[in-house]
Structures are given as structure tokens and as C-alpha cells.
A and B are shown apart, each in its own frame.
Chain A
Amino acid sequence: MWKHWQAVSGGIVNKKIKPALKPNRILRLHRIFRHGDRPWQGLIMVVSIFIIVLMAAIGWMLWRESSGARFTFGWNFLAPTTNASWDPVNDHFQAWPFIYGTLLTSLFAIIIALPISLGIAIFLVELCPAWLRTPLTWMVELLAAIPSVVYGLWGIFIFLPVVVTPIGSFLAETLGNFPVIGALFAGPMSASGASRLAASLILAIMIIPTIAAVTRDVFLAIPNSQREASLALGSTRWETIWKVLIPYGLSGILGAVILGLGRALGETMAVTMVIGNSIEGSLSLLRPGYSMASVIANEFAEAVSKLHNQALVEVGLALFVMTLLLNILARFLVWRVASRTPQEVRA
């Protein structure tokens, strides 16, 4: 439609001006401005360029403002290590504990959120009676509307003692004794329940709407002929979902997971309120930890030394790059799904 319009209006703008052979300058300016189209197009173009520059400026500012820290610590700043130091007094900074905390909590959140989101998407698209579909969709999306700090407050006073501590203690007693994965589930749980596990669970709740919504759209986009083909061969509904629909939408679902992961990585307030904010050496999910966003939130306003300030900006830069890469990957996957689908129509 827009192309069409473009053709129509393009005819007005360009063709009327071009054939006029070298009119004098004033006349030409007059013609350009009479319709007001050139200034209008110029305006919306300048604003668009501004948006693009804004996106680039975020990256560039983070790069510039972290120069001292990058210069002083190099790659060591980001490298995995068992005894990292984050020492504002002596101006020595290594970000690994935060990176580890962010990655571990986000991945674990995805592991929990993915099956639930898949279940929601399948229920909404394939099973749910029509009258229930809209209210349920809204309710799931409202989960994403509740402010992060409210999740945090509820987390500290209700979710931690009632849900996280019992689950954590149970995991410590069971999985904690296994040889390899035991390190991930080593106890004891802290009394308050503040831990990486708590952060993961809250994150899972917060990213379920994102993953469920995208996955739902993926299922809605699958042509009905695929369902009919499978059912007509004598598949049960579940076999159709599991063996036809999920493989069909797999890259779209992967895109949904990546978008969810992006949200989890950058989530700040709720995580800061329940993760415990501690740089201890333990790798365990059940121990308090720290995340990249949390350390920025807690320390940036009070960072006195220049290097401390720059180190925090560098953590932000790392976070920005991670979400940028995930975003590009997700768009690529979604784009691939979109470009593959039309083939099916050829007949």
C-alpha cells in the first residue's frame, strides 16, 4: 500500500519538477516549497537519522566513558576467574562475578520459563475455548506490566520466605549431593532466601509474557493445512503439536527465547532486591550473588573514584553488547522464518 502511495506522490514531487528545464533559482525554490513536501520529507528524515544516531550514541558513550577502565584492566576485566576482586578502595576491578551471576540467573530463568511459556502458547492457540482466549492473553500480558520494583518488594517479603527458601533447601538436600551438578546446588540457603535462585525464579515470572507472546504469534502463523495434514494421518492433537507444529515453528521459538534472554540480562530492580548482592566465590545457584545490572544500580551513584565509575560503565558496555548481539540474532531468526514461509504456498 505504501509503495503504491509512494508511486502516486513520487509522481507529483519528482516528475513535475524535473522536466522544467533550468528555471531560475527563485522559481525553483518556490516550486519546491510551495507544496511543502521537500521540507516535510527532510524533517522526518532528519528525525529518523536522529534516532539512528541516538542508538549509536549509546554505544559510543559507553565506550568513551569506560576508556580508563578498559585501558587499565584490558580483557582481564571480563575474564572468568575464581577469586575476582572488586575493590573500590584499592581501585582494582574484575567483573566476572557479576557476569557469572547475570548469565547463570538468566539461563536458569529461561530453563524454567520456556516450558511454561510453550504450554501457555499451545493452550491459547490450540486448545483454549474462544471466549477464554482474550482474557487469558491479557492476564499473561499483565504479568509484564507490573513494575519491576513491585516484583522486588513482593519478592523480598513474600516470595523468598514462602517459596524460594523451601525450594532451595530441598534442592540443596537432593541435587546438592550429586557429584558434578552438586556444585550448582550446594547449600546452605541463606536465612532470608536471597540468592541467585530467587533472582532466577523472579526473572522467569517476568520473562514468561515475552516468550509466551512471541511463541503464540509463531503458532498463530503456522498454516492450518499443516494441522489438517497431520490430523488426517491419524495423529493425536499432542502428536500434531509436538511433531509438526513445534518443528515448524522452531526457529521462531528460538527467537522468542533469545528475546526473553535479552530481557532477563538487563532486568535490574527485582534482581537487585532478591539476589543478595554479594561477591562470594561460590558457584552455587542457592547462594547469594550479584548481577551486572545490580552492581551498576547499587554503586554508580556513589562511585567516588574515576576508575570505579569507569569500571561500572564498562559493565554497562558489556551488558549493551550482549543484548545487542542477542537482538541481532533474534531478528535474524525471525527474518529467516518469515522468508521461508512463502515457499509453502507455491503450487
Chain B
Amino acid sequence: MEIQTMVKPTTVENTAIKVQVKGLSVYYGKFRALTGIDLTVHDRKITAIIGPSGCGKSTLLRSFNRMNDLTPGCRMEGEVILEGENLLAPAVDVVDIRRRVGMVFQRPNPFPKSIYENVAYGPRLYGIRRKSDLDEIVASSLKSAALWDEVKDKLHQSGLSLSGGQQQRLCIARALAVEPEVILMDEPASALDPISTLKIEELMQDLKKDYTIVIVTHNMQQAARVSDFTAMMMIDEQRAGRLIEYDATHIIFTRPKDKRTEDYVTGRFG
């Protein structure tokens, strides 16, 4: 199998680069899970990562906020550069990275606290104590997450009392409350019903005005609907994940260069 090491989008739009991944490899113990990833994430665009399951999509996503550090025996090589700063450098403050790069998980995971406390959790960490400040942050985050109208009268009810789709938007609001620059979404709608999924997708279009979004999805229609750029990943003979094609979404889905991408997006892939 021929492997291209460097894939660049053919259509370069007039957008700044937000994150640049250079030669990223990730190991779990001796096992190499990702190898030689090069990728540029554009500012205020939605970048989708697609590929068959087990190809390292989530591992790649978790390199952007160093959540991989939490897996024992995990080691990363290469560079992930956010606005000129290499996030993988040993001296980097992991805690600060995770504020700048927010994350939304596959299953909604609100804290068993009130809706208000869920959103206020992040700001409180950074020392914001004044009630009026917190109130405003909570309100504006919930508005940005398109949840405000549904919960404004019950801010002090448990976050767990909400429906699944609402819980996921609560988690988005919680991430927004610390003013991240990039938001990572790890299959954010895979546990939700179609209507809730649609709401999340609409929300992403709103959020993209202010935030850079990277989303992992196994749902190709979703990637085609919401994203501006798409990265296609696949595992090689050593079972390590590789980036095989990266381009503007409409190109990936209409005239991909790689045969494997074409097979995958047209559903012919085994």
C-alpha cells in the first residue's frame, strides 16, 4: 500500500491557520497508534476527522488538548502547534492548554450538580467569585449553546434532569464558559436521537463564527453536512493510524484523490 506522508488541501481558502500538526506519532507502550500525521486546522472553520473505527481518530483529537497524557504508557512525538506554541513541548502547562482547547465528549457527561453549577465550574476554577460575573457568564454561555430558553427557569435543577440532547448542549455551554479558542468534539451526537443531533449540528454552525472546531465523526453524512475540511484516516499494515487524505470537504466527498477515500465515502469500504 502506498502511503503519502504529506497531504495538503488543494483549495486553500483565505483563512488563518489555527493549529498545525507536524509529524505526530502516538504510542501506547510499544504499540504505535498514530504515525506521521501532518494536518493544518483553519481558524473559525469546522474540520472533520473521519475514518473506520479503530483508526486513531479520537487519539488524534485527544492530542490537541493532551488528554492522551491521562492514558498510562502513552507517549507522543512530533509537534502540535497552537498559535506558534508547541503543545507537546514538555514545559507547556497542560492545565492551561485544556482551557484554551475545550472538549465535548461522546456521551454527555454533566456533573451531578445544578445546571448553573455545571457552567460556573470552569470560571470558578479561574478565580471568578463575584455572583454577578458568574451569572452573566452562565447566561451568555447557555445562550451561545442554544440552551438558555429551555433552562432559564430551572437553572438550579440538576443537570442530570435534562434530556440527552440538552445534556450535551449543557456540556458545550460548560466548555464555552472558559472562553476556549478551539473546541474538540468527539462524536458529540453519536448517543443522541436525530432531532437532538440536528440541533447540535445547527449549533456548530453558529459557534464556528467565534470558535475553531475539530470534530471526530463516524457518520459521513454528518461530516459532509457540517464541516469545511475533512481529514480521512485509515490504519496501515502495522495497525497504526495514518492520515491518507486531507482536503476541503466538498472535494473529499466529490472527487477524492485517494482510491481508499473514494471507497470509504461512497460506502464501498469493507
Direct contact of A and B (CB under 8 A): yes
A244 nearest in chain B by CB position: B111
Shortest Cβ distance from residue B106 to the other chain A in the assembled complex, whole angstroms: 9
> Contacting A347 at CB < 8 Å: which of B72, B97, B99, B107?
B107
A42 CA / B167 CA spacing, docked (Å) = 50
Confirm or deny: A344 has a beta carbon within 8 angstroms of a beta carbon on chain B. Answer: yes
- From B98, B107, B164, B167, A232 is in contact (CB under 8 Å) with B98
Check B109 against A233 for contact (C-beta < 8 Å): no
Q: What separation, in Å, do the CA atoms of A288 and B107 have in the docked complex?
A: 57
Q: Is the pair B174, A233 in contact by a Cβ cutoff of 8 Å? A: yes
- By a CB distance below 8 angstroms, the chain B residues around A247 are 111-113
| CB of B264 closer than 8 Å to a CB of A | no
**Does the CB pair A231–B113 fall under 8 Å?**
no
Cα distance, A232 to B160, chains bound together (Å): 19
Contacts of B111 in A (CB 8 A): 226, 229-230, 244, 247-248
Contacts A229-B111, A347-B191; is A234 near B171 (CB within 8 Å)?
A: no
Name the contact of A231 in the complex, choosing from B70, B108, B174 (C-beta under 8 A).
B70
Interface residues of B in 76-104 (CB under 8 A from A): 95-99, 102-103
Complexed CA–CA distance, A247 and B65 (Å): 25
- Report chain A residues within 8 Å CB of B72: 130
- In this assembly, does B105 line the interface, its C-beta being within 8 Å of a C-beta of chain A? yes
> What is the CA–CA distance of A190 and B95 in the complex, to the nearest angstrom?
53
Category for how many chain A residues contact B: 20 to 34
A225 at the interface (CB under 8 A from B): yes
* CB atoms of A344 and B175 under 8 A apart: no
Given contacts A233-B178, A347-B167, whether A228 and B160 have CB atoms under 8 Å apart is no
Question: Are the C-beta atoms of A233 and B122 separated by less than 8 Å?
Answer: yes
B121 sits at the interface (CB 8 A): yes
CB contact between B122 and one of A228, A234, A248, A344 (< 8 Å): that residue: A234
Interface residue? A236 (CB, 8 A): yes
Residue among A225, A227, A232, A343 making CB contact with B102, cutoff 8 Å: A232
Which A residues lie within 8 Å of B122 (CB)? 233-234
Q: Is the CB of B125 within 8 A of A239?
A: yes
Scan residues 325-347 of chain A and give those whose CB is less than 8 A from a CB of chain B: 340, 343-347
Inter-chain contact B175/A232, CB cutoff 8 Å: yes
Name A266-316 residues within 8 Å CB distance of B: none
Separation in Å of the A235 CB from the closest CB of chain B? Answer: 6
The residues in B between 113 and 170 inclusive whose CB is less than 8 angstroms from any CB of A are 113, 121-122, 125-126, 160, 164, 167
In A36-51, the 8 Å CB interface with B consists of none
- Report how far A343 CA is from B158 CA in the complex, Å: 11
List the B residue with the shortest CB-CB distance to A248: B112
Which A residues lie within 8 Å of B220 (CB)? none
Partner of A233 from the list B99, B107, B108, B160 (CB cut-off 8 Å) is: B99
Chain B: minimal CB distance from A166 (Å): 42
CB within 8 Å of B: which residues of A?
Answer: 130, 223, 225-236, 239, 243-244, 247-248, 340, 343-347
Return 29 A-B CB contacts under 8 Å, by A number: A223-B109, A226-B109, A227-B70, A228-B103, A228-B105, A229-B110, A229-B111, A229-B174, A230-B111, A231-B67, A231-B70, A232-B175, A233-B98, A233-B99, A233-B102, A233-B122, A233-B175, A234-B96, A234-B126, A234-B178, A235-B95, A236-B95, A243-B125, A244-B111, A248-B112, A344-B109, A344-B160, A347-B107, A347-B192
Residues of chain B at the chain A interface (Cβ within 8 Å):
65, 67, 70, 72, 95-99, 102-103, 105, 107-113, 121-122, 125-126, 160, 164, 167, 171, 174-175, 178, 191-192
